Amino acid sequence: MNLQNLSTGKKPTRIQREKTGKILDAALDVFSRFGFRGATLDQIADQAGLSKPNLLYYYNSKEDLHNELLAQLMDKWLEPLEKIDPIGSPIDEICSYVCRKLELARDFPRESRLFANEIIQGAPRIADSLTGPLKTLVDEKAALISAWAKAGRIADVDPYHLIFSIWSTTQHYADFDTQIRSVMEDNYASRFEGAENYLSHMFRSTLAI
């Protein structure tokens, strides 16, 4: 964003709050469906109900807009992992983490797909976040899980691959939703209920001593 009043430290106006909200929502929709290069500013502007120059009044470039979305996303995406509590019961903590990730996939599928698109395409715009905050947090929680394993409180599994399996199985319900709808058909409506049951069983079995 590059608005005069903001860059001089003033508060955003009512219109700025309304319009940037609509823009970000439309951008999330379009970027998450087509990826960065496949999305067009015309489409985003259309969906947000503005003209393209008006959109560019709020965000100076396509890349600016995309970066804003990714920046907002990263925090929300790391939060569930942060919440794993060293004090709690290991298996419950990890299963709660699975549930939180599954809720994210259910409630924020567009965000999940935006992230997936970015990673699949080589993460050119969030490489720093991956090697920085993400890696730091994962290393920390992996150490915790290893400690639990060493103390004999959960099975001795590789914590990194455990985390990958949690990420992949939960995000799958957002990112591959189209495929799931095609395959499940009848039971599609209850997919998240079914997923919670299945994943709960799977990770409890995996971690049981």
Partner DNA sequence: GTCAAATCTGACCAAATAGTCAAATAAAAT
Partner DNA sequence: ATTTTATTTGACTATTTGGTCAGATTTGAC
Point out which residues bind DNA (CB under 7 A). Answer: 3-5, 8, 10, 13-16, 19, 39-43, 50-54, 56-57, 60-63
Q: Tell me the closest approach of the beta carbon of residue 63 to its own copies, in angstroms.
A: 14
Task: Classify the C-alpha dihedral 126-84-136-143 as positive or negative.
Answer: negative
Assess 206 for contact with its own copies (CB under 8 A). yes
Cα within 13 Å of Cα(197), Cβ side: 5
Complex with its own copies: residue 18 or 107, whichever CB lies closer: 107
Nearer to DNA, 58 or 173 (CB): 58
Residues 148-177 that bind its own copies (CB under 8 A): 155, 157-158, 160-162, 164-165, 167-169, 171-173, 175-176
DSSP secondary structure, 165-196, as one string:
HHHHHHHHHHHTHHHHHHHHGGGGGGHHHHHH
Choices 49-57, 68-76, 95-103, 179-187 (CB under 8 A): range interacting with its own copies = 179-187
Which CB, 21 or 194, lies closer to its own copies? 194
What is the radius of gyration, based on Cα positions, of the chain? Answer: 20
Are 8 and 66 contacting, i.e. CB atoms less than 8 angstroms apart? no
